[in-house]
Amino acid sequence: MKISVMSDILKANDLLAEDIKKLLFEKNITAWNLMGSPGSGKTAILERLIPMLPETLRAAVIEGDLATSNDAVRIARTGVQSTQINTGGACHLDAAMIRSALEEIEIDAISILFIENVGNLVCPSSFSLGESGRIIVSSITEGDDKPEKYPSMFKTADLVLVNKMDLLGNTNFQMESFMKGMRKVNRNASVLPVSAIEGTGFDSTLQWLLKHVKKSR
């Protein structure tokens, strides 16, 4: 693809994302763009986190996948609104997809929106969805070199959840190496270790979330 064509696409996306951002701001909704590799545990983390949210913080989830509604069905079991986007072939969500998904959500009833992006460490980071912030899930089975290898993704993170900590003894993942790479590309993001399977690290994650919901509201 010619660079000029790509930048036109991104420009059009940014304009639409600005509209979404305005709408969410008016409605007092904090929106998180949740990104990470396929299988890193994005949906599993939402399944842990959503039931922990205080009553005053009603959530909805937009799920993005190439195919199936599996993840939206999993999220619906937590009792919150969930809607599925199937991108067909596309390897990322864009603002136009979010605009139409928002029509299926009763947004006056919510104050927090999670948008689970297509599993991919490359292009989702280029497409703003009008979110308030970005959460990256990186699981330890992917290795500790991911921040350095995929800087565009980790550069824009507000929070990085290092998932599958329960498997630490079975991998050669070194938190110190991960943090070293992370700080090369992003000095400010919070980094929290979690295990979605065992439920560890979610008190800190919730505290982080509550703090940042307040800040952006």
> What, of Mg ion, Zn ion, none, does residue 71 touch, CB below 5 to 8 Å by kind?
Mg ion
163 binds Mg ion (CB under 5 A): no
Q: Residue for token digits 């609104």?
A: 81
Helix (H, G, I), strand (E, B) or coil at 167: helix
Q: Which of 49, 71, 157, 195 binds Mg ion (CB under 5 A)?
A: 71
Cβ proximity to Mg ion, 160 vs 185, nearer residue: 160
Give the integer Cα–Cα distance in Å for 66 and 186.
29
- Angstrom distance (rounded) from CA 82 to CA 75: 6
Regarding 123 and contact with Zn ion (CB under 5 A), the answer is: yes
Total length of the chain: 217
Separation between Cα atoms, residue 35 and residue 30, nearest integer Å: 16
Q: Which of 30, 37, 43, 84 binds Mg ion (CB under 5 A)?
A: 43
| N- to C-terminal Cα separation, the chain | 39
164: left (phi over 0), alpha (psi -120 to 50) or beta: left
Binding mask 75-94 for Zn ion (x = CB under 5 A): ----------------xx--
CB of residue 91 to Zn ion, shortest distance in Å: 3
CB 167 within 8 A of CB 141: yes
* Min dist. Cβ of residue 116 to Mg ion (A): 6
Which span sits near Zn ion by CB under 5 A: 15-23, 45-53, 116-124, 196-204? 116-124
Query: Toward Zn ion, which CB reaches closer, 73 or 91?
Result: 91
Residues that bind Zn ion (CB under 5 A): 91-92, 123
Residues interacting with Mg ion, by CB under 5 A? 42-43, 71
